[in-house]
Amino acid sequence: MSCKYLIIGSSHAGLAALDAIRVRDSEGSIILVSREEYMPYSPTILPYVVSGKSDPEKIYLRNEADMERVGVEFRRKARVVKLNATDRNITLESGENLGYEKLLLATGAAPVPPPFQGLKDVPYQVLRTLDDALELRRTMEGAHSAVVLGAGFIGMHAAEIMAKAGKKVTVVVRSRVLRGYFNEECSSLITQIFSAHGVRIITGTGVSRVEKSNGGCVVCLESGEDLYSDFLLASTGVKPCTDYLIGSGIEKNEGILVDRKMRTNTKHIYAAGDVAEGPDFFTSEPQVIPLLTNAVAQGKIAGANMAGEEVEYEGGISMNTFNFFGNRVLSIGLSEPFQTGNGGQVLEERDDEKKRFKRLVFQEDKLIGARFLNVELNPGVIVYLIKKQVNIGPYAEILFQQPKEISHWLMLEMEKKETVPLRNKEKR
Amino acid sequence: MKSFWDTFRIEYGGCPPDCSACIEACVTERKDDMWGGGCIKPIHVPEVNFHGVTVCHQCSQPACKEVCPAGAIQKSEIDGIVRIEGEKCVGCALCTLACPYGGVDYNADKNKAFKCDVCGGEPKCVEACKYGVLSFMKSRPVYGALCHEDVFVPGVALCAGCAAEHAIRFVMRIIGKEALLFTSPGCAPLMVGRFERVAVTLMTNVASTMTGVKRYFRKMGRDVVTVAFAGDGATADVGFQSLSGAAERGENIIYICYDNEAYMNTGIQRSSTTPLRAWTNTTPLGKSRQGKQQPPKYLPLIMAFHGISYTATATTAYLDDFAKKIAKAKEVKDGMSYIHLLCPCPTGWRFPTASTIEVARKAVQTNYFPLWEAEKGKFVLTHQTRFQRPIKEFTKLMGRFSHLTEEDLAEVQEMVNARFATIKGLAEL
């Protein structure tokens, strides 16, 4: 069996590529392959499945009728085990080969098991697939306490959900909360908010080993403390799923290396999403940015290029938003200027009482990063200012003081420059 | 699916400093909406005396929809409105991070995202606006309100894929059909013959003829818009002295040169704007010489240094940029406006008729033809490519460069780089 476009992976990157192809080529045959038994869904929705906010029956991004309408053959439970680039086909777990003219690898990422001693004997949970989420929900029901290993967005989100469900939650992290996104100042405010809601956060210590205890487990910390809990949730990061690429000749570093057109080193093969390592917006260096927004952007680019148009990716920008206990924290772009003292400028303000934090990072006259905790604004507009490299210059200070209004104004000014005053008002 | 829908029209920055009627109407309309309200945003920045308003654009490819992990956002195929299904929304607020225009908001109390739904087709904010800043346009008149009618609708007698045809049609849609059009022998007369207000002059005297007509009408007390649409031969070679004279005298005319880089209408003979090493019928590929031996005359800079009021370069691959320049040229009342338009010619450049736009785009992306404008001597690059492409990406698209060797390419690349450096230097002054 073969097709014109073969897409492996049916999450955001795969679906965005699918749409981008169909906009340009309404006829070409498409096969969409998923290793799961479900219709396409987003890993981002899973914490809400755990909390019960989302009905697991209603999280699907496409149904069978949608697939039929756009003329796509959707294959479930079809794990890819081998890519044969010279023969231009892939081998599924069932042994079937699927041929392609253009191939997109959007296989995403999987949790990295933490390297703690004893973990292989102690059952622990992760949160990456729908099955994980359903299992975590079941486990949670009978449990009273939980230990979360790692304090990234997934770990903190799970901690919030479990705390809200009345569990005794402890988060253990070697450095600090959300280290990849926030500096010490902001991170400690977030820690305070979690602590105020009964979540114990232990920072600055590693885990020496984990052990089974009756009905649950013990986490022994390097600090000497032993934590008893009913179950463990490991959220110590993800890494791209590339096991099927062995022997394929596809070049990879941490993820699959792609250029600005999302092409791999092998002809007719593209990669996008969490599995891809594409250019960074600021440095153009290859980087894996495992975030939904990047997956969508890369998927669109890959799809367009697969369908014959030439479109280039502007580069990935790390950005995220996280709502917890009625608070909202935002991280966009870089946290430090490229080189301090060399055109770099940072404006920062922290209000412990109101639990507010804001930080803007500039390089020359341009915004390159922003961090906000409990500041009302539309973050997409801030992203716009960074992406369009809007010259902020003398307005940096008022942007810092009133980020919502000034960011909108700067965006409107920029848009005005790009729109056309076609006809005079009185002649309308 | 429909191609366009009813839409808001917002007068940019037209609000009075203390008005909030629209937001009040919006909040009132949606107060019973359990998912939140207050979708339209007044933006007041007294520091720069800006008072305006912004609201969701109801994008054709909504970024908010693309990133929603819950599949809660959909664009209606019936009325084009982008709606959030409140039941499905989990309040992750990724949509607010994806929307570049601030069209979606997050309500922390209700833990939901909310946005404008145009009140189902009769927006209350528009009813509340007393200052004419907000209006709601039905789909049919939108296009007509933004552009004039197409005066060339019956069809034209030019080659398939002609960029000049696309360009003159576009120029007249923006300038308006009241303008007087001048052209000279070349491809353009084949097309503009259908337009009643056109004069076809000789190749030598386009600019001087339009000067006379303009002055005559001024004497009669009428300010008419005069537009020349002439090829590179009539502009850079044969008619240059009359053009240069009119520019130096500061005549209030709009002169658009459609540069297809050779005498295409008479059978592809070299002109002074034909690029270095390009093939034409009079610069053939021989044993000792291949293609044109001289670098092209860079006319737009020569025109700018006449000290005229407005000079610009444009191509049909960047129509928004072109439109803005035409509109600016039309506003000039104290001197000459000159627009140099790169017009890829499938017949003479030897490329497939479907590639016209791509060729023009590559010309800009390689800095072969940088887009800039100069208002009274102030130079600005109006479109900067983030990554300059090698010149080969442009030359490989067409037959007239197919004989180029690596040395030729290096030579052309060097010329492109040097010329771009000059323009960039002027823009940075």
pLDDT digits (tens, 9 = 90+) for A325-365: 999 999 999 988 886 567 888 999 999 998 999 999 999 88
Pick B71's closest partner by Cβ from A61, A260, A407.
A61
Q: Are B29 and B119 within 8 A, CB to CB?
A: yes
Is the CB of A384 less than 8 angstroms away from the CB of B48? no
Rounded CA separation B100/B121 (Å):
24
Predicted local confidence at residue B149, as pLDDT? 77
* A58-72, B186-200, B322-336: the lowest-pLDDT one: B186-200
Contact in structure between B241 and B248 (CB atoms under 8 Å): no
pLDDT reading at B253 higher than 70: yes
pLDDT in tens, A155-210: 999 999 999 999 999 999 989 999 988 888 899 999 999 999 999 999 988 898 89
Nearest to B108 among A62, A328, A380 (CB): A328
Are the beta carbons of A323 and B98 separated by less than 8 Å?
no
**Residue in B100, B145, B324 closest to A381 by CB:** B100
| B378-397 pLDDT per residue, tens | 999 998 877 788 999 999 99
**A321/B12 CB distance under 8 A:** no
Partner-chain residue, chosen from A314, A330, A381, that has the shortest CB–CB distance to B102: A381
SS3 percent helix, strand, coil of chain B, rounded to 5, is: 35, 20, 45
Strand partners, A84: A89
Q: Please choose, from the candidates B252, B255, B261, the residue with its C-alpha nearest in 3D space to the C-alpha of residue B232.
A: B261
User: Mean per-residue pLDDT for A372-399?
Assistant: 93
Using the predicted structure, report yes or no on whether residue B146 has a pLDDT greater than 80.
Answer: no
CA distance A421 to chain B (A): 7
**For residue A293, which residues of chain B lie inside 8 Å, CB to CB?**
67, 94, 97-98
Contact call for B145 and A42, based on CB within 8 A: no
- Do B145 and A383 make contact, defined as CB atoms within 8 angstroms? no
Rounded distance, CA B348 to CA B344, Å?
A: 9
Signed CA dihedral, A121, A124, A126, A130: sign only: positive
pLDDT at position A428, please? 32
Mean pLDDT of chain A: 91
CB pairs under 8 A between A and B: 135
B221: left (phi over 0), alpha (psi -120 to 50) or beta: left
Q: How do residues A244-294 score in pLDDT, each as one tens digit? A: 999 999 999 999 999 999 999 999 999 999 999 999 999 999 999 999 999
| Residues of chain B above pLDDT 90, percent | 67
Over 80: is that where the pLDDT of B153 sits? no
Cβ partners under 8 Å of residue B235, min gap 6: B206, B243, B255, B257, B259, B299
What per-residue confidence (pLDDT) applies to A180? 86
| Contact state of B45 with A58 under an 8 Å Cβ cutoff | no
Return the ∠ at Cα B369 (arms to B210 and B406), rounded to 5°.
135
Please report the pLDDT score of residue B1 as a whole number: 45
Longest dimension (CA), chain B: 83
pLDDT in tens, A48-97: 999 999 999 999 999 999 999 999 999 999 999 999 999 999 999 999 99
**CB contacts, 8 Å: A321 with chain B:** 92-94, 96-97
Residue B141's pLDDT band (cuts 50, 70, 90): low
Nearest-angstrom CA–CA distance, A30 and A33: 10
Name every chain B residue with its beta carbon within 8 A of the beta carbon of A420.
320, 323-324, 327
Q: Which of A58, A260, A380 sits opposite B102 (nearest CB)?
A: A380
Give Cα separations from A246 to A102, A163, A173, A241, B259 (angstroms).
19, 42, 33, 11, 54
Task: Please tell me the predicted confidence (pLDDT) of residue B138.
Answer: 74
pLDDT at A216: 86
| Residues from chain A contacting residue B98 (CB–CB below 8 Å) | 293, 296, 380, 383
On the question of pLDDT at B4 being above 90, the answer is no
Residue B192 pLDDT > 80, yes or no? no
Per-residue model confidence (pLDDT) at position B2: 52
Question: At a CB cut-off of 8 Å and minimum separation 6, what does B391 contact?
Answer: B366, B368, B409, B412, B413, B416
CB contact under 8 A, A381 and B94: no
**Tokens found for residue A384:** 């716009």
